[in-house]
Structure 1
Amino acid sequence: MPGFHINEMGEMVLDAIEDIAVYDVYGLATDIGRECERVIDRFGIDAVSTVLPKVINTLELLEIFVDKNEKENVTIKELREKITQLENEKSEKAEHRRRYEREMEVLEEQWRTETNELLEMVQTLQDENKRLVKQTQDLQSSSAHSSGLGASLTESIISITNNELHSALTDTQVLQRLKEQIYKQRDELKQKEQELQEKYEDIEGLHIQIERLKTSGEDAHRRRKALQAQVMTMCEQRADFLAQLQDQFLEINQLRQQLGLAEKENEDLVKSYSDDPNDPNRPRYTTLQLKELMRERDELITTVDNLTEELKALKPSSAKLAGGGGGGGGG
């Protein structure tokens, strides 16, 4: 079973708390229930009445934490997938932005080149127009008889100048449209940058949420570790409790054996005392009376020993007194 291993005593012990699922908790509860049934069948319900509610409460807490851990793992997985997706979109948009900026730089360079060319063309046309007007005025003043030809030439020059100016105006309109297009693309680029900034903020918010979930997961991990230690402690207490019950069971059996032997000896004594009521050696005392007599005998023995010790202590003094009296009579 994931998250558990069997120790040398055959007990199921928590191993990897991160891999435990809810069904593992149910399996652990089933194994503990079987053990409790064996203890109840052997020693009675009183043997587990105090520890069983604590075991049930611990298993319920473990189930809650494991279920919460599974939900948090699913949420973290979804958030990581979302972050990966957003980062991919971010990379794609950044690449699109770089490509767009390069295109804009090329367009701006082309626009600047064309603008310079058109400005130079307009300046050239204006200079040419001034030169032609000056030549026309010179021709009109130098030859009066060619006035009709001069007027016709002037009209031709003015027509050519007007055509060139019209062409210049058309190029200017094209240039204006290019400017408008560039301004429009700049606005679109600013809008894209704003959208990209919003995506950055979303990603940052998701990062903060993941950090918060990591912190919550670490707290839950610490609580599960504490719960694991509590379960292991209760398993050890259960093992100690079973050992104590086994010792008590052996002591009870020994006491029962001793009681059986004492009852048998008592029965044998009763039979031996009641065989011949006319036996002069048959005891006439009860057990309590015999105990009292034995106690009095022990007290008398103690008194006799004390008196003997005192007598031994007095004998040397008497001998000395007797020796002193004999010496005085001889004198």
Structure 2
Amino acid sequence: RVPVGTQVRRVERDGTLTLVGDLDRPGKAILVARGGRGGLGNAAFATPTRRAPRFAQRGEPGEEWQLVLDLKLLADVGIVGMPNAGKSTLLAAVTAARPKIADYPFTTLEPELGVAEVDGREIVLADIPGLIEGAHRGRGLGLEFLRHVERTRVLVHLVDGARPDPVADMQTVNRELAEAPGDLPAKPQVVAINKIDLPEVRARLPALADAFRREGIETLPVSAATGEGTKELLRAVIRRLPPKEERETVEHEAMPAPIGPRFRVRRSDGLLEVEGREPVSLAYMMPLEDDEGRREFWRRMARMGVVRALRRAGARPGDRVRFGHVEVEWEG
């Protein structure tokens, strides 16, 4: 079991990553590796002349993959901004979440979630730790933070009204969002000027609002410390959220079954090698150390056409034939 919001990627043999599935809702399950088939018991190999065979098949080995699990939090709203802008204080003011709050940058080192209710509607908010210039290159754990913004629908961009140039701060954060993977700049933003409880911020509020307006941005004044303006902020956020039924859910199918020819024979490293799921699986499952089991194996290879293909490839008695990781002596 993994948290909702976990993406599962498979490490291919060439080192590339393939997305297997996205566990984006409770109860969703995906297949990441197939188990092997069970082996046949000795009764399956009985014949009129071999009433009680002394061998049975082993179970087929299952698939083994190295997986990368990447948690991307699921939230309606991401609260972004420079360090110490008051994001955690805002989350605590509008939800029951209790993130760590202190008067220094990078108090929040992991995203925090909270649920807010306004006008009878619930929304999930994520406090994304502060972004600094170079975050998209990993500065300040930026990539760790930015990946959690990907799933949000709306961004609350919180700017510190007590900083010398809040417009420049907003532009810095937006540049980092633009450089990050995904389509973060396309997400709707609600820009809020925080710390209006401070007299000096309240006094410069008209000038700050005008400065943002010249950039084509309307702002909302809030005080995360006192709660002033937070209801209006949440209502503005809800107006920008798409209805739940319109939200897209990307489905990823289970891993496709391998397809291709039943088998092929080729020379590799001086050996004859048989490739193909059926013959290789049978080599893993049959007890080749047992004389009866080995004879039964070659009988089945003959029925598949593998024996004929080996002869055409020039196999001679005593040659080693490789089936996956198993080597068998060709008995002609």
TM-score range, shorter chain: under 0.3
* TM-score normalised over the length of structure 1: 0.22
Greater fraction of residues in strand: 2
Which structure would you say has the larger RCO, counting Cα contacts within 8 Å and 6 or more residues apart?
A: 1
Greater fraction of residues in helix: 1
**Which of 1 and 2 has greater Rg?**
1
